[in-house]
Every structure is written in C-alpha cells, then in structure tokens.
Amino acid sequence: MVKLETKLRDRYGLESGGAQRPDGLVDAGWATCRGKRSINEDTCYCAFHKDDEGQDVGAFGVFDGHGGPMAAKFVRDHLFKNLFGHQHFGSNLARAMEDAYQETDGQYLELDAEHQRDDGCTAVTAVLLGQRLVVAHVGDSRAVISINRTAQALSKDHKPNRADERGRIEGAGGAVVWAGTWRVGGVLAVSRSFGNRMMKQFIIPHPEIWQDVITEANRVLVLASDGLWDAVDNEEATQLALKWRAAGAEYAARALCMEAYARGSQDNITAVVIFFLPPTQQQPQH
C-alpha cells in the first residue's frame, strides 16, 4: 500500500486533505488522483463553516469535469457561496440547494460571454446542518451512505439511457444515441450537468435532492466521481472506508482512490469520505 501510495503521489498527483467538525463527531476527508490521464478534471470541496446562528455546517462536493477543468473549478468555488447566501438556506435547505445549482450554472454560462467554451461538470454535494443531511446531484458522480450494515445510494446517476431522462431529452427534441456508451446527441455520456452550453436544452443543471436525519444507523457517507464507481461498487466503497475508520477520513479517502487505481480505473478518481461518530465514542471532555 505504501509503495502504491508513493507512486500515485509522485506520478499521478494523489492529493488529499481533511476537516473535522468542532464537536468531534464528524470526520471528513478527501482525496483525488488524476489516474492515467494527464490533467485532473475532477475537483472537490470539504469544509466546515459556522452559519449565522453559529451552527456548524458541513459542506462536501465532488465535481467531475468533461471537456476541460474550468466548469468543475468554477462550480467548486461558487456553488456553496450561492447556497450559504440563499435567503432560504436556514429554512428550506433543499429549495436553497436547487436554486444554488441553477444560479451557479447561469453564472458559469454568463462568464464566458464569447461562447468559447463548451465544457461542463457533474456534481454531487452534501450539506450537513446539525444532524440533517441534504444530498443533491447532477450527472454520474454518486453519494452512498451506510445504513446499519448495508450501503444505499442517495443519488441515481443521470445517464442518458435512464428511462425518465431519455424521455425528457426526447421530449425536448434531442436524441440518445449509442456511441460506445449511451450519449446525448451521440456526444455526452451524462444527461444533466453544469455548463455544456451547446446542449443546454437537454443537459439541464436541475439537481435531484435526497434528505434525511443522520442517526446511529449511519456511519459513513462516500461521495465520488465515476472513476471510483467504475471500479468499486457501493457496498465495497462503504466497507473499505469503514475498514480504515481508525486511520481517519482523509486516509480512508486515499485508500478508496488507491483501490480504484489498483483495479485499473483509467479515469480521474476523486472521493470524499465523511464518518459520523456516535456520541458515545466522543473523547471525554475535561
């Protein structure tokens, strides 16, 4: 593992980091690796802030670029700002999240006034307000949570061949065509994303939202780009992360990237791991 880790760091840009909620009950870490490609179009977000009422807010995201890294970086830098500034952030987080996705997409398209770019990115984001978790996504970056001993996907990949997505695209006058995989207009292998100006009437930035309260049954949440999910399934990802729990979330995120790489994933790989620690395991406070 150490040898692979050194090789990934030196040759494939394995990077990682982490953040802990001040109460010590949430440990989050991220890792990204550009795999066998030369530029990393994936990026991520992983931080805790205080909201206006002084409550701790955890914000996490994985953004997988296509056609260039610009959209992924822009969305990483603006999506949570838009979310935190939203008038309903404290009262209706799901609604605020939906609006923040749309607003950020609009800002990205506006930024490029000469219409030179046509890149885009997927997003899977999670916001933890107290114990309330809201997950949103566009595209095929995925969120998976452990419930007791099983893994459950909290997002359903936006693939062009998903029946409802295909219906929506065809209804808007588009076509879903087989070209190595199912693609919108024979080009794009996701049916929703940020950016992608030329296909915006089909490639919408509207997120699907999942929300619930984190309980003792939930131990880990994994957000990752398809570079991970192409090589590691939902169950394996949560099990592997939990196996490294004692080493911390940053290390667990690195372990996930390394596992996907060792299994031959050719893509950018980015993972965010969030451990929820039961209060009983809290360090005694003196």
Ligand X SMILES: *[C@@H]1O[C@H](CO)[C@@H](O)[C@H](O)[C@H]1NC(C)=O
Q: Are 249 and 242 in contact (CB under 8 A)?
A: no
Beta strand pairing call for 142-147 and 150-153: antiparallel
Shortest CB 56 distance to ligand X, Å: 24
User: Rounded to an integer, what is the distance from CA 264 to the centroid of its chain?
Assistant: 21
Closest listed residue to residue 22, CA positions, set 124, 143, 128: 128
- Regarding 267 and contact with ligand X (CB under 6 A), the answer is yes
Q: Are 26 and 276 in contact (CB under 8 A)?
A: yes
Q: Which is nearer to ligand X, 125 or 141 (CB)?
A: 141
Shortest CB 51 distance to ligand X, Å: 28
Shortest CB 243 distance to ligand X, Å: 20
Q: Which is nearer to ligand X, 103 or 118 (CB)?
A: 118
Interaction pattern, residues 54-83, with ligand X; x per rule: CB under 6 A? ------------x-----------------
d(CA 241, CA 247): 10
Q: Dihedral sign, CA of 257, 218, 281, 20?
A: positive
Among 12, 18, 30, 41, binds ligand X (CB under 6 A): 41
- Regarding 217 and contact with ligand X (CB under 6 A), the answer is yes
Among 20, 40, 196, 238, binds ligand X (CB under 6 A): 40
With contacts defined by CB under 6 A, how many residues of the chain interact with ligand X?
12
- Regarding 175 and contact with ligand X (CB under 6 A), the answer is no
Closest listed residue to residue 163, CA positions, set 138, 121, 191, 189: 191
Q: Are 270 and 31 in contact (CB under 8 A)?
A: yes
- Regarding 39 and contact with ligand X (CB under 6 A), the answer is yes
Q: Which residue(s) pair with 210 in the sheet?
A: 135
* Number of C-beta neighbours around residue 168 at 10 A: 17
Shortest CB 67 distance to ligand X, Å: 7
Stretch that binds ligand X, among 30-38, 55-63, 156-164, 205-213 (CB under 6 A): 30-38
Q: Are 99 and 106 in contact (CB under 8 A)?
A: no
Stretch that binds ligand X, among 36-44, 104-112, 196-204, 240-248 (CB under 6 A): 36-44
- Regarding 1 and contact with ligand X (CB under 6 A), the answer is no
Residues 146-165 that bind ligand X (CB under 6 A): 147-148
Q: Which is nearer to ligand X, 40 or 193 (CB)?
A: 40
> What are the start-end ranges of the E strands in 163-203?
176-179, 181-184, 194-195
Stretch that binds ligand X, among 3-11, 38-46, 180-188, 235-243 (CB under 6 A): 38-46
For residue 185, give Cα distances in angstroms to 122, 173, 175, 219.
18, 10, 5, 40
Contact positions vs ligand X (CB under 6 A)? 34-35, 37, 39-41, 66, 147-148, 217, 267-268
